[in-house]
Structure 1
Amino acid sequence: MTLRLHQLRALVGVVEHGGIRAASRHLHLSQAALTKSLRQLEEDAGVALIRRSPRGVVLTDAGQRLLARARLVTRQLDLADEELSHAADEQQGQIRVALTPYITLTHLGQVFSWFRQRYPKVSVELAEGLMSRVVPRLREGTLDLAVVAETGDLPVGEFNDRSILELEQSIAVRAGHPVLINPTPAALAQLEWVLTGPRDGLKSAHLRAIFERAGVAPPQQIVYAETLTALAVMRHSDVAGIIPAPLLRLPECRGMVAVPPSALQVGTLTLKLLTRPDVPLMPATEYMAQCLEDVCKGQPSR
């Protein structure tokens, strides 16, 4: 079986752009040429890869498996092309970075300013660095660099990772919350809680463990939300949550306060910088990584 690059680009294109018409515009091909490439890919692969439906193109199981490899192959070739272009002009290319919301809210402005002083023309894509989104994209090669919160679900040994910041955490509620009168573990357990990110067993297990260590049954009502949504819910209702303590100084957390220390020990949060071990970083990506590390160390300028 011989798979050709233009066929793999066709597959990636129809998935990322939602259909043949949009992909053909992006790839600067006619719809007929793109359809032919997909048909030849299926013939070469010997299995059906896509199904057409009124809602667009849907991948078969075999198509899903090939897509992950196709994204990696096409991204690595794009990086090679960018690397060669960079050798002639370091202001070309693109970097794709995912950042945990804490970095976005506290340090991104400074990091981006430093980066633009060195690389004013390099294209930058920024995404939210939730672990469940970062890991697949790093595997596919559609992400170059990520800073994530270590929550126990980082695959061991799969990526280069280094700790760049450790944060104290606080239980937080809105100012004037009734629980502040007597914030015992039992009283906190009666509240509704919000956890950030997608619903998964690790986050709820961590919350249960905090209460169980204090000898109290854990909360029964839990809301799962994106970070900014979680902060809004906490500011305007009686929902409690756990956040990095420095966030309470930001405008996004105005009207929220830390619950006084109690028998509940919430621990610290470690932020890690992730890259693929088998792909050398472009100079612009390496500089972005260094800026992130420097700002987390408190370096005032570059």
Structure 2
Amino acid sequence: MTDQRNAPRPAGVTMRQLRAFVAVAQDESITRAAQRLHLTPSALSMLISSLEGELAVRLFERTTRRIALTDAGLELLPSIKKVFENLDDAFDGLRQLSDRRSGRFAVATSPLLAATLLPPLLAGFRVRFPGIRVDLFDLPVDGIAQAVRSGQADFGVCTADTEMPGLVLTTLYQDRLMLACQSDHPLADRREVRWAELAGEPLALLRHGSGLRSLVERGFAEIGEPVQPAFEVAHVTTAVGLVEAGLAVSILPSYALSSARSPGVVAVPLTAPVMERNIVALTDGQRQLSAPCEAFLTHFKSGVTGLAASSSQKKTRKKTAGQA
């Protein structure tokens, strides 16, 4: 008996022969398979015959009425079909990789996110995917959802605490509220500051109606303290300006302070309680995201973590330099 493990491997088998074999096996007809492969029946028969000759085994039983797989053909077919499935998967992967490296998409976000968090993320994304063009719409918060619904934007990036009908919210990052104060403020060198320690401090807060103001009020409610701001403003940049001038301290998102223009303003994490809110991707549940969109959202998740770590390291270095 011949040891099959030591039998010579066929060297002349081609992809055309194998595709011909699978087509005939599926159609059980030389004529139908030839039509599907855009070949003549005689050309297809020659491919099957040459494959059988190369393998030294009959793969089909032929009669005047039908063609059927032999036992050897039945044994071979699942393996060959698996080979083609793997090849198709590989080619699909290559096409998706190519799609991810070129194209265009539009993202809608709030003016604050557009001015602070998005620019460094977009810069890093452009380095990785220089062939993808990004259109950025900085819109009022209530306009982001509308831009996604209308198709003006492929997706939105915003803070959201409630569900939005027809839209899908996917968490990208969880942001923490921070104390913003001057670098020479008594609390500036602390690793963390408790909310209770802000009693008596002149606060610059956003006006009622903003999600940030609601979150700040929840923080004070948890410690049983009333909210008594010294200043109520409409924009985060105004609050930062008041802090920079030494007129107030403020409670702001970490991303709003990570790129603060003033080196004299520092951010200290607030604790007891820790107040966080989600930065989410806002997408239309009826539309599938393109490959470039998926690539950016993946980049966002990894990139924003790196920015947060970088901001923390800068703050630590600044304190160390001040103590030296």
CA change 1:229–1:158 in 2 (3 A) is farther
AA aligned to 1:127 is F
Task: Say which of 248, 256, 263 aligns to 2:265.
Answer: 256
Task: Say which of 136, 147, 172 aligns to 2:157.
Answer: 147
2:227 is aligned with 1:218: yes
2:107 is aligned with 1:96: yes
SS at match of 1:293: helix
CA contact under 8 A between 1:169 and 1:243: conserved in structure 2? Answer: yes
In structure 2, C-alpha distance between the alignment counterparts of 1:228 and 1:268, rounded to whole Å: 20
Report the Cα offset of residue 277 of structure 1: 0.8
CA change 1:113–1:211 in 2 (3 A) is closer
Q: Deviations over 1:257-280 (max 9, x none)?
A: 346867x63512321111111122
Report the Cα offset of residue 101 of structure 1: 3.6
2:276 is aligned with 1:265: no
AA aligned to 2:235 is E
TM-score normalised to the size of structure 1? 0.53
Q: CA RMSD in A?
A: 4.0
Task: Say which of 194, 204, 208 aligns to 2:213.
Answer: 204
Aligned residues: 207
Report the Cα offset of residue 202 of structure 1: 4.5
The structure with more radius of gyration: 2
SS at match of 1:279: coil
Which residue does the alignment assign to 1:135? 145
In structure 2, C-alpha distance between the alignment counterparts of 1:246 and 1:204, rounded to whole Å: 16
In structure 2, C-alpha distance between the alignment counterparts of 1:202 and 1:234, rounded to whole Å: 21
2:265 is aligned with 1:242: no
Which residue does the alignment assign to 1:188? 199
CA contact under 8 A between 1:231 and 1:252: conserved in structure 2? Answer: no
SS at match of 2:261: helix
AA aligned to 1:143 is A
SS at match of 2:217: helix
2:207 is aligned with 1:231: no
CA change 1:227–1:201 in 2 (3 A) is closer
AA aligned to 1:207 is V
What are structure 2's unaligned runs of at least 5 residues? 1-97, 310-324
2:310 is aligned with 1:290: no
In structure 2, C-alpha distance between the alignment counterparts of 1:220 and 1:212, rounded to whole Å: 14
SS at match of 2:136: strand
In structure 1, C-alpha distance between the alignment counterparts of 2:135 and 2:148, rounded to whole Å: 14
SS at match of 1:252: coil
Which residue does the alignment assign to 2:129? 118
Which residue does the alignment assign to 2:84? none
CA contact under 8 A between 1:171 and 1:240: conserved in structure 2? Answer: yes
TM-score normalised to the size of structure 2? 0.50
Matched-pair identity in %:
14
Q: Deviations over 1:228-262 (max 9, x none)?
A: 33322321242332223466554525212346867
In structure 2, C-alpha distance between the alignment counterparts of 1:174 and 1:252, rounded to whole Å: 13
What are structure 1's unaligned runs of at least 5 residues? 1-86
In structure 2, C-alpha distance between the alignment counterparts of 1:164 and 1:274, rounded to whole Å: 10
Q: Deviations over 1:110-168 (max 9, x none)?
A: 4434346435363x321336532312222222221222123x3x434531221121233
CA contact under 8 A between 1:97 and 1:127: conserved in structure 2? Answer: yes
2:116 is aligned with 1:108: no
In structure 1, C-alpha distance between the alignment counterparts of 2:214 and 2:107, rounded to whole Å: 32
Which residue does the alignment assign to 1:165? 173
SS at match of 1:142: coil
Which residue does the alignment assign to 2:70? none
Report the Cα offset of residue 200 of structure 1: 0.9
SS at match of 2:199: helix
